[in-house]
Each structure stands twice: as C-alpha cells, then as structure tokens.
Amino acid sequence: MADGRLVDIGDTQLYIVERGQGYPLIVLHGGPGLDHHMFGDYLDALTDHYRLILVDQRSQGLSPMTPDSTWTIPQMAQDVVSLAQALGLNEYAVLGHSFGAMVALQNAVDFPGAAAQTIVSSGVPSASKYLGPHVQFHIENFEPLELREQVAASWERETIAQTQEDVASLLTDQFPYHFRDPFSPLIQEMWQRTVGAVYAPDVLRHFSTQAYGGIEVEDQLGHVTQPVLVLAGRYDRACSIPAAEAIATGIPNAQLVIFENSGHMTYIEENERYLRKVRQFLDRG
C-alpha cells in the first residue's frame, strides 16, 4: 500500500490513491471486481490542475471485505458521499467508467448536487432496457468469428470465477470485445500500463448474476441538478449510444460527447480527446 491509504467511511474503509493537486476528482473504476489500476496512468495528464482520487470501491482492490448484502450500486453511490465527507471535500467532481459510471450516475440521482460535476463514462441508466439486450446481441454477432466463442465463454465465466487468476484469464479473453478493433495493439499496451490490479472474484460473481447491479434510474434523471458530462464510444458493445443519449436527454444540464473511433474503452482508445473533453468540462466549473 505504498502509494495509497485506507479512509474510514463509517461501516468500512476505502483504499484510495491520490495523484496531483487542485480541484478534487473522485474516480470510480469499472468491473465490477476490478480496482483503481484499470486507469493505469491514462488520466495522469490531468494532475497538473486536478487532484485525482482513485478509489478501490467497496470490497474491491485493497478495500476491506464487507457483507455481500452491502454490495449494491446505491450503497456504493452512498460511499462516494461518505468518502468526500471523510476527506473534508467541500467541492469535488466524480468520474465513473463502466460499472463505475453506473455508481456515479446513481450518486447524482440519489444525492443531487453533492458532487459539483459528474462524468458518466460508458454507462447506462437502465440495465434491463440497455445493458442485457445490447450485450447479448453483440456477443451473438461478435466478429471476428474466430474470437466469438472465446468472448462468449469469458462472459459466462464471470459467474463462476473463484480466484484472481480466474478473473485475469477471463478479462484477457474478453477485452477484444471492449475495443473497437479486437486486435488493437492498445490492448497489450493496456495490460502493461495497468499492472498490479487486485481482483475481487466474489464481487464479480455477485454482480454478474444480478444484472451488474440492475441500475434503473432512467425515470429519475430529472432529479440531477449538477452539470453532467456523458461520454460514449460509437462502437461500444456493452453500453450503447442510445443509453448515453437517454442519460444526456434526461438530465437537465447534461452534454453528450461521442467518441467516433472507440468501443467501450474510450479513455484508452482516444485518450487525448478524452482528456481534453474532461478538462474542458471541469474547467467550466
């Protein structure tokens, strides 16, 4: 734990890694079952003006285990508020990607204005409407054909993963699905830049059998009061453009940015533009 620390948030602790100084940006990883290492150094260019607070969410990474009854998106959304309070943050922004995007969105709905700004990166407002059907369609039609069985099996293995090695193996098989180009050299580069991850197979199993938390907030988006930036990849096979459009349309003060050359991993596939859009949004304060 050389580069991070545990922060008491009441019923548990969250492990955080802080980089840079300035306006705080709480960063929520995807998964579920991953940790802050998934961002590698891809966001580090922001540290010139921002204090990145990369979080290992509840029971993941180096955060201590909690009862599985607390493994819910609403609880993790509450954790963001508790963490900000524990750190004494008066004004801050939240950025969540993939599963983290759903936590960030739930946080914005449940605690309007608690974060001054929210960034929803590759997320959905309704699991039943946008996530399950979209993923299933793209698994069944995934190309190239020689990788289709590998990708399909990787999703199925999420429900039975027992060890960190199990998670690493299924992720290796699944990541071609999450990039626009299944053979992109960015995939191997990502593994090199995100080394050190601590996986949580129990958390992954839990959520993969429950619609990944089953977020359902589309009818509550009007409650959100802070500015929201919605980021989406045109070729995302997990979180669709219609899902992103629904978020941007439903929130009163939201803007949508579509990355035309990306799949699910926008912050890797179009890193420079991603950072530029995040910076422009945060700078408007």
Which sequence spans correspond to the domains of the chain? 4-283
List, as own/partner pairs, every contact residues 133-137 make where C-beta atoms lie below 8 angstroms and the sequence separation is at least 24, other chains included. 134/237, 134/238, 134/239, 134/240, 134/243, 135/237, 135/238
DSSP type of residue 45: G
Across all residues in the chain, what is the average pLDDT? 97
* Domain 4-283 bears CATH identifier 1.20.210.10: no
165-201 pLDDT, tens digit each: 999 999 999 999 999 999 999 999 999 999 999 999 9
The tokens describing 275, both together, are: 């950072």
Question: What per-residue confidence (pLDDT) applies to 3?
Answer: 86
**What global pTM score does this model have?**
0.98
What parts of the chain have a pLDDT lower than 70? 1-2, 285
List, as own/partner pairs, every contact residues 155-161 make where C-beta atoms lie below 8 angstroms and the sequence separation is at least 24, other chains included. 155/208, 158/204, 158/205, 158/208, 159/205, 159/208, 159/209, 160/205, 161/33, 161/201, 161/204, 161/205
Tokens 């050190």 -> residue: 196
Question: Are 212 and 131 within 8 A, CB to CB?
Answer: yes
Helix (H) or strand (E) holding 39: none
Q: To 10 degrees, what angle do helices 185-193 and 164-178 make?
A: 140
CB neighbourhood size of 145 (10 A) = 8
Question: What per-residue confidence (pLDDT) applies to 1?
Answer: 39
Can you say whether the dihedral through the CA atoms of 209, 30, 189, 242 is positive or negative? positive
How far is Cα 37 from Cα 136, in angstroms, rounded to an integer? 27
* Amino acid present at 94: V
The three-class DSSP label of residue 198 is coil
The tokens describing 30, both together, are: 């995807």
How far is Cα 44 from Cα 49, in angstroms, rounded to an integer? 10
* Amino acid present at 211: A
Question: What per-residue confidence (pLDDT) applies to 145?
Answer: 96
